[in-house]
C-alpha cells in the first residue's frame, strides 16, 4: 500500500486516563484525585493535531484492535487511518499517575505482538515513529528495510540514549525524547546535543518539562524555548505530542531549525491553553 501524504505517524493507540496525585510515593490511605482521559498515544495525538491544522497526515496503527480503529475513525473522521496486525478486541486502555512535580508512573495493558507493516507499506516524505519498548526491535527492523527519506523518531521517556544509539545507522532527520532527570535549564542543550550525536541525526529535540526544550541543528546551532503558559495545574498528557506536531508541520513546510523551534513552541502553547482542542 502506498500512502500519498506528507506525514505518516506510526505507533499504538490507547485510551489513556491520567490521574493527578501529589506524589508517586502514594503515602497514606487514600485521597480524592482528579483525572482526565485522552485518546493517545503520541502517534495518534500528533496525527490528529496535524489533520486538524490542515497538514496532510495519516496514522498507521500497530497491532490495534478493531475497536481501536473504529474509535479513531469516529473521533477523527478526516484523518487517514492505516493498520498493521489488526486484531479483534475491545478498545485498548491504559492509566498513568502524574505527580505535582511532573513525574509519571504508567499502568500499561499487556503488550501485543509487535506486528510491523511491510517495507513498502509507507512511502512518503516524512515518517514519524513512536518507539515504545515493546515494539523497539521490530520497528527498527522495519525502518531499516523501509528507509524512509525523512525519519523522525520519538524515543519516548525510557532508555532514550540507548535507543538513539541503535538508530545511528539510519541517520534520522530528527530524534526526540523527554527527560525528568535534567535539573538545570543550562544542561538541557548539552543533553540534546549528546542525543543528536548518539543517533547521528540532523536534529535532536529534548524536552525537560517546565525547563522547556532544546532543539539542535546542523553544526553548533542550538535553540532553546519554554512555553510561555503556566504549567500549573499540570496539563497532563499531550503537550509533548503538540511539540512533535509543530515540528512535523514545520518540517513539512521546509522551515529552518530556528523557525522549527518557534513553531513547536507555538503549537505547545496553543495546546496548553486549550488541551481539549
CA distance 148 to 269: 30
Has residue 159 been placed in a domain?
yes
CA distance 199 to 166: 7
Q: Provide the CATH number for the domain around residue 88.
A: 3.40.1190.20
Mean pLDDT to the nearest integer, 90-106: 87
Mean pLDDT to the nearest integer, 234-260: 84
pLDDT digits (tens, 9 = 90+) for 248-277: 999 988 888 888 888 988 998 888 887 665
Name the band, by pLDDT with cuts 50, 70 and 90, for residue 232.
very low
Mean pLDDT to the nearest integer, 79-107: 88
> What is the pLDDT at residue 73?
96
Name the pairing type of β-strands 203-207 and 213-216.
antiparallel
For residue 166, give its domain range.
7-273
224 vs 187, residue with greater confidence: 187
Has residue 2 been placed in a domain?
no
CA distance 215 to 201: 12
Across the chain, mean pLDDT equals 84
Count of domains in the chain?
A: 1
pLDDT digits (tens, 9 = 90+) for 50-69: 999 999 899 999 889 999 99
276 vs 96, residue with greater confidence: 96
Query: Torsion angle, CA of 143/149/155/161, rounded to 10 degrees?
Result: 90
Helix or strand (DSSP H, E) at 185: none
Rounded to two decimals, what is the model's pTM? Answer: 0.89
Has residue 160 been placed in a domain?
yes
CA distance 177 to 131: 10
Has residue 1 been placed in a domain?
no
pLDDT digits (tens, 9 = 90+) for 212-226: 788 998 876 777 776
Has residue 245 been placed in a domain?
yes
Mean pLDDT to the nearest integer, 200-218: 86
Has residue 192 been placed in a domain?
yes
Has residue 12 been placed in a domain?
yes
Has residue 179 been placed in a domain?
yes
Mean pLDDT to the nearest integer, 12-21: 91
- DSSP symbol at 10: E
> What is the pLDDT at residue 30?
74
Amino acid at each position: 500500500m502506498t500512502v500519498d501524504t506528507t506525514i505518516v505517524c506510526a505507533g499504538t493507540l490507547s485510551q489513556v486516563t491520567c490521574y493527578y496525585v501529589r506524589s508517586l510515593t502514594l503515602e497514606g490511605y487514600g485521597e480524592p484525585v482528579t483525572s482526565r482521559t485522552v485518546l493517545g498515544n503520541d502517534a495518534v495525538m500528533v496525527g490528529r493535531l496535524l489533520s486538524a491544522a490542515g497538514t496532510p497526515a495519516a496514522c498507521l496503527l500497530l497491532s490495534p484492535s478493531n475497536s481501536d480503529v473504529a474509535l479513531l475513525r469516529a473521533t477523527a473522521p478526516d484523518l487517514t487511518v492505516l493498520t498493521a496486525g489488526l486484531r479483534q478486541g475491545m478498545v485498548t486502555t491504559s492509566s498513568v499517575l502524574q505527580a505535582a512535580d511532573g513525574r509519571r508512573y504508567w499502568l500499561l495493558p499487556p503488550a501485543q505482538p509487535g506486528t510491523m507493516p511491510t517495507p513498502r507499506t509507507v512511502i512518503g516524505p516524512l515518517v514519524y515513529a513512536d518507539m515504545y519498548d515493546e515494539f523497539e526491535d521490530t520497528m527498527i527492523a522495519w525502518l531499516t528495510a523501509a528507509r524512509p527519506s525523512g525519519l523522525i523518531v520519538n524515543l519516548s521517556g525510557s532508555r532514550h540514549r540507548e535507543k538513539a544509539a541503535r538508530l545511528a545507522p539510519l541517520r534520522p532527520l530528527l530524534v526526540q525524547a523527554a527527560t525528568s532527570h535534567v535539573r538545570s535549564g543550562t544542561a538541557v542543550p548539552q543533553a540534546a546535543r549528546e542525543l543528536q550525536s548518539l543517533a547521528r541525526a540532523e536534529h535532536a529535540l529534548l524536552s525537560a518539562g517546565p525547563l522547556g526544550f532544546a532543539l539542535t541543528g546542523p553544526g553548533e546551532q542550538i535553540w532553546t524555548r519554554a512555553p510561555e503558559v503556566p504549567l500549573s495545574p499540570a496539563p497532563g498528557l499531550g503537550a509533548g505530542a503538540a511539540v512533535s506536531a509543530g515540528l512535523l508541520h514545520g518540517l513539512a513546510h521546509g522551515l529552518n531549525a530556528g523557525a522549527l523551534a518557534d513553531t513547536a513552541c507555538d503549537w505547545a502553547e496553543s495546546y496548553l491553553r486549550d488541551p481539549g482542542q
